[in-house]
Amino acid sequence: MSTGFINTAVTGIQVAQLNLATTAHNTANASTQGYSRQRNVQESNTATLTGAGYVGQGVNVASIERYYDRFLSAEVNSTQTKVSQLESYYAQVSKIDNSLSDANSGISTALASFFSGVNSVASNPSLTSSRQTMNSSAQSLVSRYQALGDQLKQLYDGVNGSITSTVSSINSYSKQIGEINADIIVAQSSTKQPANDLLDQRDRLVSELNKLIEVSTTTNTDGSFNVFVGTGQQLVVGTLVSTMTALPSVDDPTRIVVGLQVASSSQELPESLVTGGSLGGLLAFRSESLDSAANELGREAASLALTFNSQHQLGQDLQGNAGADYFTLTKPTVLASSSNKTGSPAVSVSYTAPAYNGNFYTDLTGSDYRLDYNGSALTLTRLSDKAQWSGTDIAALNTQLAADPQGFTLDPANFSGVAAGTTYLIEPTRNAVSGLALNSAVVADNRLIAAAAPMRTEATGTNTGKATISAGSVSPGYKALAAGTPLTLTYNSAANTMTWPATVASDGTTIAAGSVVYTSGKTITIAGNNFAINGSPNTGDTFSIAKNSSGTTDARNAALLGKLQTQNTMAGQTASYQTAYAALVSNIGNKTREISTTGDAQQALLDQATAARNAVSGVNTDEEAANLIIFQEAYQASAKVIEIASKLFDALLAIN
């Protein structure tokens, strides 16, 4: 009898010890990452039936279990993966934001100082020092573009590197999850008890994996996890682990993309499937911000070079020659897909000359394009909005591009007999910045800056009427007059006409004779030479236009070059260099702000989810301290029962 309840007391002591052990374990792991506090599930022993009824046989610990709510953990994981994505995005985009916003590294001040240099030539065209100032400021503008371009390139390379290392970390976590899966299967199948600490470890690995890429999990009956990415692409199934790879893109070998090892080959995962985590952040940053920033910067550099060159060509240098290019620009990048069959034609594109409508402007868009050949027709797709142009050959496409200008044209290439599925990626402005330079001839000899206009006008001194002629200008495609061969207009009052004879131009061709009805102030254009005569001429009065020989102090073209600063020279004559740059800065700023704000909101959600999870699973040391006291007292109480049983036994012995 007494033996019975000593045994009962002993079970109490044993359970109290187990409770103390669990409390010690909890206290020891108070700061362990991913640890879920544990508790002992106590249950009373099966009672013994006596005549008096069922006599209790004490207590035992049925199981040690985790305080764990998988919904709360999943909530933490799904918010964590978004936070990680946004943090990784923010870390990258804020670098662009800082560079563009910084007065020292941004384009804005360099652009202003370049045009200040142009203006100094416009004010003092004959001074070599002014011309040198213009060249130097142009050089620093080019350097500034290139420095920014280099930085974007470094970010691009950095993204490539980060993708590779992140993929390697993902593989490492997948492998560990697979291994722990195996351990858990073994541990739980043999004991039928939960392997609490292994489960915690696996949860932590999944949580770490979520920081890199968003994954979803399902639990198998044997307690192992399946881990999926994207829309169900398997990463871990039980103990089977797939390998993720970082590989060069088929379309662009410089672009590292994410793939999944299937059998012996790697299959490129569409970027839309890789979301969340720092990997998702990197990919989103690259496709949303980095590519467009590089394209936009290139668009500005290319537009500046093309429009400035066109205006410069309308001028005349100090030596009396027509202006050459001021900037040089390499051709746009075209990448042939690595899946193209051998023998596919090489495709190249060229910038179209800027259009002219009072000032020069380009139609470049800042988007990339894809050229596909389906065996019978070519399709050009603008990737930003999927606008398409189709034609049977390059010439047909170019005809369409002429009507709907995109700032570039395709160079001739022969597609007859080429396999279907041949594709090319066209990046009209992506690498324009690195291909931008000053024309080395102009750098070496600043007299080649074409500050003067190529023609000048004069009202003959012996005229008896009171009429003046404007200074004049030239339009693209003008015919330059030959030196010493002016073109003279003579006024006839009876017919009210200005008449001029046929004149041989500097290129040896003839400017046809002609006649216009005279209207004071109306622009007269002869072979691209524009001028206006104002006032009342008398019969026989003559006005001449001539080559601007020795026009060293003329700065009419420099003034027009200077005006480009404020004219709408880009995006089909809707934006100036500066407004386009401001739009870029604003876009990147907006994106950074958006990412930062969303990141703050997600962080708050994560904090809440973590708090909720910790409320269930986290260790509170005070609570454990209280538990210690409780379990100590339970131990002491059971010990007291033994003592009392002992005393009862002694009392029986004393009767003897």
Partner 1 sequence: MRISTNQIYDTGIQGMMRNQARLDKLQNQISSDTKILTAADDPVGAAQVLAVSQSLAVEEQYQTNQSSAKSQLSLVDAQLTSLTAAMQTVRDNIVKAGNPTYTAADRESVAKDLESNLAEILGIANTDNGTGDYLFSGYQGGTRPFAADGLAAKSPATESSIAYSGDAGQRTVQVSSSRQMAVSVAGSDVFMNGKNGNGTFVATTGGNDVGVTASTGNTGTVTQSSWSLNRTQWDAALANTVPPVAALPLSVHFIDPANYEIIDSAGNTTGSTPYTSGAAIALSVNGVNYGAQITLSGTPVAGDSFAIKPGINQGTGVIDMGSVLDTQKWSAAVNNALAGKPVEIRFSANATTGKMEYSIYDPVGGATAAQAFTTGQAISLKTAGGVDFGSQVVVTGTPKVGDSFTVTPSTSQSVFQTVQNLIGILRSPVGTTYSSTQLANDLAGQLSNLDQAMSQVSDVLSTVGANERELVALDSTSSDLVIQYKATISDIQGLDYNKTYSDYTRQQVNLEAAQKSFVKIAGLSLFDYI
Q: How far is the CB of 331 from partner 1 (least distance, A)?
A: 30
Query: CA-CA distance, 298 to 254, in Å (whole number)?
Result: 18
Q: How far is the CB of 558 from partner 1 (least distance, A)?
A: 9
**Site membership for partner 1, residue 565 (CB under 8 A):** yes
Cβ atoms of 224 and 239 within 8 Å: the answer is yes
Q: How far is the CB of 85 from partner 1 (least distance, A)?
A: 17
Per CB under 8 A, which of residues 32..51 are in contact with partner 1? 37
Nearer to partner 1, 23 or 434 (CB): 23
| Structure-block tokens of residue 473 | 């200008």
Q: How far is CA 132 from CA 128, 129, 136, 146, 493, in A?
A: 6, 5, 6, 21, 50
Choosing from 551, 557, 571, 638, the residue that interacts with partner 1 (CB under 8 A) is: 551
**Site membership for partner 1, residue 583 (CB under 8 A):** yes
Nearer to partner 1, 302 or 606 (CB): 606
**Site membership for partner 1, residue 419 (CB under 8 A):** no
Nearer to partner 1, 434 or 627 (CB): 627
Q: How far is the CB of 129 from partner 1 (least distance, A)?
A: 9
**Site membership for partner 1, residue 8 (CB under 8 A):** no
Residue 341 class from Cβ within 10 Å (0-12 exposed, 13-18 middle, 19+ buried)?
Answer: exposed
Q: How far is the CB of 494 from partner 1 (least distance, A)?
A: 7
Q: How far is the CB of 149 from partner 1 (least distance, A)?
A: 18
The amino acid at residue 224 is S
Candidate ranges 211-219, 364-372, 524-532, 558-566; the one touching partner 1 (CB under 8 A): 558-566
Query: CA-CA distance, 95 to 108, in Å (whole number)?
Result: 17
DSSP string, 466-502: EEEE---EE-TTPPPBPTT--EEEEEETTTTEEEE--
Candidate ranges 70-78, 95-103, 166-174, 270-278; the one touching partner 1 (CB under 8 A): 95-103
**Site membership for partner 1, residue 626 (CB under 8 A):** yes
Residues 6+ apart with CB under 8 A from 97: 588, 589, 592
**Site membership for partner 1, residue 592 (CB under 8 A):** yes
Nearer to partner 1, 446 or 548 (CB): 548
**Site membership for partner 1, residue 552 (CB under 8 A):** yes
Cβ atoms of 107 and 148 within 8 Å: the answer is yes
Q: How many residues does this entry show for the chain?
A: 656
Choosing from 461, 477, 484, 508, the residue that interacts with partner 1 (CB under 8 A) is: 461
Candidate ranges 93-101, 243-251, 349-357, 429-437; the one touching partner 1 (CB under 8 A): 93-101
**Site membership for partner 1, residue 586 (CB under 8 A):** yes
| Structure-block tokens of residue 310 | 């066109």
| Structure-block tokens of residue 536 | 């009342």
Nearer to partner 1, 187 or 293 (CB): 293
Per CB under 8 A, which of residues 597..616 are in contact with partner 1? 607, 610-611, 614-616
Place of tokens 């006649």: 515
Query: CA-CA distance, 222 to 68, in Å (whole number)?
Result: 18
Nearer to partner 1, 112 or 377 (CB): 112
**Site membership for partner 1, residue 104 (CB under 8 A):** no
Q: How far is the CB of 586 from partner 1 (least distance, A)?
A: 4
Choosing from 459, 524, 526, 641, the residue that interacts with partner 1 (CB under 8 A) is: 459
Q: How far is the CB of 462 from partner 1 (least distance, A)?
A: 5
How is residue 354 annotated by DSSP? Answer: P
Query: CA-CA distance, 347 to 329, in Å (whole number)?
Result: 18
Choosing from 1, 346, 494, 517, the residue that interacts with partner 1 (CB under 8 A) is: 494
Phi and psi at 449, nearest 5°, equal -65, 125
**Site membership for partner 1, residue 284 (CB under 8 A):** no
Per CB under 8 A, which of residues 11..30 are in contact with partner 1? 30
Choosing from 24, 198, 355, 582, the residue that interacts with partner 1 (CB under 8 A) is: 582
Residues 6+ apart with CB under 8 A from 220: 226, 238
Pairing of strands 436-438, 327-329: antiparallel
Pairs from 158-163 (Cβ < 8 Å, separation ≥ 24): 158/92, 159/92, 159/256, 159/282, 159/285, 159/286, 159/290, 160/254, 160/255, 160/256, 162/278, 162/282, 163/246, 163/256, 163/257, 163/258, 163/279, 163/282, 163/283
Choosing from 18, 418, 443, 559, the residue that interacts with partner 1 (CB under 8 A) is: 559
**Site membership for partner 1, residue 370 (CB under 8 A):** no
3-state SS class at 238:
coil
**Site membership for partner 1, residue 94 (CB under 8 A):** yes
Q: How far is CA 75 from CA 72, 116, 588, in A?
A: 5, 58, 31
Query: CA-CA distance, 642 to 334, in Å (whole number)?
Result: 90
**Site membership for partner 1, residue 406 (CB under 8 A):** no
**Site membership for partner 1, residue 540 (CB under 8 A):** yes
Candidate ranges 56-64, 135-143, 168-176, 583-591; the one touching partner 1 (CB under 8 A): 583-591
**Site membership for partner 1, residue 349 (CB under 8 A):** no
